[in-house]
Each structure stands twice: as structure tokens, then as C-alpha cells.
């Protein structure tokens, strides 16, 4: 009876010939399968290897589990069927009756009761976000009037009129400066 092994943590540039060469040292291989991504066509980083004899498969697990292959430690164990694997990830939702892939009840029958509106469980609530510098606390009342801050002095009040009176009517550009006497 053929025994299938799962080989994980493969480098993405591994080839079928290299895996055949490595695992054929234990015994004769029946099959080597490297799955590829449907969309990109690139290797997915794991493979399935099949031996005819259980003893050869167990020896391959013992010898090649955590064995460095192209700088990466391989994970080798017996492959399990899809239905035997533990479920991981998010729980599946019930199908919607208006989607094209949904299984619909026969004509004339009512859909099974769903118990009202479907609920979604997104996990625990996130902690409250911290307030920014510009946000105020909601318990605080309105602020009072702004304080007047004196930053500079203003020159231009009524006391400055005496200084401006001697300059009225003169053109500064045509003003001549008189030379001082050097006696």
C-alpha cells in the first residue's frame, strides 16, 4: 500500500528533480507532486512524496524531518486526508440565498429559519483610541475669553505728533545735506 508524505518549508526554487534525488536515497519513489498557485503559477512551498512501502516512508520521515535543504529545515510527516485535518481560520458563514453559489431549497419550500438577522462576531472590542493634542475631553466646559498677551510696544499714539510736524511737506529724496564745518 502506498504511503504519502507531506514535505513542508520547501524553498520556492526547489525542483521535482532535486526532491526526487534527495528522497530516492531512502527507497523507490512512486510519485513527487509540487503544487503551484492557481493565479501566479509559482510553487507553494510544499510537496507530496509517495513511497510503496511504509518502512521506506517512516525512514524518510526519520531522516529528513528538520534536514537542511537549500538552507531551510524541511518538515516531513505523513500526509493526512483533507477531512482529517484540523480546521483553522475563521468559521464559515451560512450561504446567502441570493448568491449564485448558494444551495437553494426546492421550489415551493421556504428557506430554513435563520433566527432573524445574522450576527457577525468580529471578536472583542478594540481599546479606546487615545485623544490627539487638539481634541478636548467631553466633560470639560467651554473655555473662557482669550487672555491678552503683550508682545510688542505700539508707537503711534498722540505723543508722537510733535516729531512728525517738522517733516511735513518735505520731500526726503530731494533734501540736501549740508557739509559740516571742520574748523
The span from the CA of 63 to the CA of 21, in Å, is 14
The span from the CA of 104 to the CA of 111, in Å, is 8
Q: φ and ψ at 129, to 5 degrees?
A: -75, 150
Q: What pLDDT sits at residue 163?
A: 55
Q: Is residue 74 scored above 80 in pLDDT?
A: yes
Q: Is residue 101 scored above 60 in pLDDT?
A: no
Q: Which of 79-83, 120-124, 143-147, 164-168 has the lowest mean pLDDT?
A: 164-168
For 3-24, the pLDDT digits (tens) are 999 999 999 999 999 999 999 9
Asked if 60 and 27 touch (Cβ cutoff 8 Å), the reply is: yes
Q: What percent of the chain has pLDDT over 90?
A: 37
For 134-177, the pLDDT digits (tens) are 655 556 667 788 888 777 766 666 655 555 555 555 565 666 66
Q: What pLDDT sits at residue 47?
A: 94
Query: What is the Rg, in whole angstroms, of the alpha carbon atoms belonging to the chain?
Result: 43
Asked if 59 and 67 touch (Cβ cutoff 8 Å), the reply is: no
DSSP string, 116-130: SSPP----SPPPPPP
pTM of the model: 0.46
Question: Considering the domain 3-80 in this protein, what is its CATH number?
Answer: 3.30.70.330
Give Cα separations from 158 to 137, 152, 165 (angstroms): 47, 18, 12
Amino acid at each position: 500500500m502506498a504511503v504519502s508524505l507531506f514535505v513542508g518549508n520547501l524553498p520556492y526554487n526547489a525542483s521535482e528533480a532535486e526532491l526526487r534525488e534527495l528522497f530516492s536515497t531512502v527507497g523507490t519513489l512512486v510519485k513527487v507532486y509540487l503544487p503551484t498557485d492557481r493565479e501566479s503559477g509559482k510553487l507553494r512551498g510544499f510537496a507530496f512524496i509517495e513511497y510503496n512501502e511504509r518502512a521506506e516512508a517512516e525512514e524518510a520521515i526519520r531522516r529528513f524531518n528538520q534536514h537542511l535543504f537549500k538552507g531551510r529545515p524541511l518538515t516531513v510527516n505523513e500526509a493526512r486526508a483533507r477531512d482529517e485535518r484540523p480546521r483553522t481560520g475563521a468559521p464559515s458563514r451560512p450561504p446567502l440565498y441570493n448568491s449564485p453559489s448558494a444551495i437553494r431549497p426546492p421550489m415551493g419550500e421556504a428557506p430554513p429559519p435563520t433566527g432573524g438577522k445574522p450576527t457577525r462576531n468580529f471578536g472583542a472590542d478594540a481599546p479606546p483610541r487615545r485623544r490627539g493634542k487638539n481634541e478636548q475631553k467631553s466633560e470639560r466646559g467651554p473655555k473662557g475669553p482669550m487672555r491678552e498677551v503683550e508682545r510688542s510696544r505700539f508707537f503711534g499714539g498722540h505723543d508722537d505728533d510733535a516729531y512728525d510736524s517738522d517733516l511735513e511737506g518735505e520731500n526726503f529724496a530731494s533734501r540736501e545735506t549740508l557739509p559740516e564745518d571742520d574748523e
